Structure 1
Amino acid sequence: MSDLLLNIRRSTLGIALFAAVTSGLIAVTQVLTKTRIASNQEAHQARALYEILPASLDERLHQQIASLPAPELGLTEIHFYQAIQDQEVQAVIFPIVAADGYSGDIHLLVGIWRDGRVAGVRVLAHKETPGLGDKIELAKSDWILSFNDKRLENGREEAWNVRKEGGVFDAFTGATITPRAVVRSVARTLDFYQRHQAEILQPVRVETTEAEVTP
């Protein structure tokens, strides 16, 4: 075999080996990145849970997950968190998605006290317009706190809208779609709670002990 062919073969093998190693490193990096992102998202959600309901109420809130069929919410099943004290569910938190945001899905946590009042609402993720729709974030404005202690009352469902459409919730200057989407999603969640309150307030049993999440 000529030196030229031998060099070509060596170069080809070297390139193939380099490509294989590079592809492997990229694949490992992608897996690690996805794992880190998922871990960060879980930690972010855990912190938001304890912003709505304090750990002093139930420090195992993030572990106590129940579920119910939820066709009214467009879901086969919805999972939710229960805050249990003295063997009774004192409040629940629903992770929900407002699919009618201006720029796509808005991921929310909606907390509801046992008596049907809103315990709190927090935004987990969204793609709304910076400086306009992003005011749904507590870090940008206190608008999200306007849900606290409100309830869905029979005959007053129209109140659950933005003011310019006959409701009691403020919209944002130049951004009505975003707050309207959040308001309507919270109202649907409250309606679901009222319809299934007895089932929702059945305490879930946690069989295993998981690692604690610092609130």
Structure 2
Amino acid sequence: MIRAISKNALALGVVAVLCVAILSLVHIQTEPRIEQQRQASKIAILSEVLPSVEANQALLQDCIQVTDQALLGRSSPQALYRWRKDGQLAAYLIETTAPDGYSGNIDLIVAVTPEGTILGTRILNHQETPGLGDKIEARRSPWIFSFNDKTVTDNNASKWAVRKDGGDFDQFTGATITPRAVINAVRKATLFIQQHPELATQPANCPKQ
């Protein structure tokens, strides 16, 4: 009986080793493809938020990490990409978070000029209510395009609100909290850019894209 148990244990051990070896081999073979898909997805998002730019590997590499919980919504670092045209800084593409969405965090990316003009915005991740709060997605509604060409100045803070609150932005029927959160996050991200001119010259320090 002891011999039988030993044989079974040995057989299970061999099977376990083979399974680990197979999984490791599959991981090694698929990792480059997964990484390529991840980079392609990131480039696609950057191209959407700034359509006039051909997003490529160079844009991914010109990236720095920034942290400001008050203005960017997280205590952890966020990615900021720098687009340069003819050697001159033309726009920042900054990831930010609205921590006060109806169903939790709303992650987004904002393209903004160094002077504070918004060029585009897209939602990266959210858990808002389908059919209501998900109208912040470009595929669900054109609402997210209402940020294009808007500016943030010391004198127009009141305009950065939904119309129900006296601002310039439409709200969603039955879902006012969601647009309020996104509007506030976009404005704060733009303020962050305006308050930190040194971002243009900081060395790239993002993890490998």
* Structure 1 and Structure 2 fold alike (TM over 0.5): yes
Taking structure 1 as reference, are residues 6 and 125 closer, same or farther at Cα in structure 2, changes over 3 Å only?
same
- 1:83-162 to 2 correspondence within 5 Å? 83-162=83-162
Show the counterpart of 1:49.
Answer: 46
- Residues 114 and 194, structure 2, Cα contact 8 Å, conserved in 1: no
Q: TM-score, normalised by structure 2?
A: 0.78
For the residue of structure 1 that corresponds to 2:116, the secondary structure is coil
Show the counterpart of 2:198.
Answer: 199
Amino acid at match of 1:103: S
Taking structure 1 as reference, are residues 56 and 49 closer, same or farther at Cα in structure 2, changes over 3 Å only?
closer
- Residues 82 and 204, structure 1, Cα contact 8 Å, conserved in 2: no
Show the counterpart of 1:10.
Answer: 7
The separation in 2 between residues aligned to 1:16 and 1:58, in whole angstroms, is: 47
Work out whether 1:171 is the aligned partner of 2:167: no
Work out whether 1:62 is the aligned partner of 2:60: yes
Taking structure 1 as reference, are residues 130 and 68 closer, same or farther at Cα in structure 2, changes over 3 Å only?
closer
Which structure 2 residue ranges, 5 or more long, are not aligned? none
Map Cα deviations across residues 25-56 of structure 1 (whole Å, 9 max, x no partner). Answer: 56776898888766544432221112222335
The separation in 2 between residues aligned to 1:156 and 1:122, in whole angstroms, is: 22
For the residue of structure 2 that corresponds to 1:178, the secondary structure is helix
Taking structure 1 as reference, are residues 181 and 154 closer, same or farther at Cα in structure 2, changes over 3 Å only?
same
Pair member with larger Rg: 1
For the residue of structure 1 that corresponds to 2:101, the secondary structure is coil
The separation in 2 between residues aligned to 1:152 and 1:136, in whole angstroms, is: 20
Amino acid at match of 1:162: V
Task: Kindly state the Cα deviation for residue 77 of structure 1 after the two structures are TM-superposed.
Answer: 5.2
Deviating more after overlay: 19-28 vs 137-146: 19-28
The separation in 1 between residues aligned to 2:77 and 2:56, in whole angstroms, is: 24
Task: Kindly state the Cα deviation for residue 147 of structure 1 after the two structures are TM-superposed.
Answer: 0.2
Q: TM-score, normalised by structure 1?
A: 0.77
Amino acid at match of 1:155: N
- Residues 89 and 203, structure 1, Cα contact 8 Å, conserved in 2: no
Taking structure 1 as reference, are residues 56 and 31 closer, same or farther at Cα in structure 2, changes over 3 Å only?
closer
- Residues 100 and 181, structure 1, Cα contact 8 Å, conserved in 2: yes
Task: Kindly state the Cα deviation for residue 11 of structure 1 after the two structures are TM-superposed.
Answer: 2.2
Taking structure 1 as reference, are residues 8 and 57 closer, same or farther at Cα in structure 2, changes over 3 Å only?
closer
Amino acid at match of 2:109: L
Amino acid at match of 2:3: L
- Residues 111 and 119, structure 1, Cα contact 8 Å, conserved in 2: yes
Taking structure 1 as reference, are residues 23 and 129 closer, same or farther at Cα in structure 2, changes over 3 Å only?
farther
Task: Kindly state the Cα deviation for residue 57 of structure 1 after the two structures are TM-superposed.
Answer: 8.9
Task: Kindly state the Cα deviation for residue 18 of structure 1 after the two structures are TM-superposed.
Answer: 2.8
The separation in 2 between residues aligned to 1:66 and 1:16, in whole angstroms, is: 47
Amino acid at match of 1:172: F
Taking structure 1 as reference, are residues 168 and 33 closer, same or farther at Cα in structure 2, changes over 3 Å only?
farther
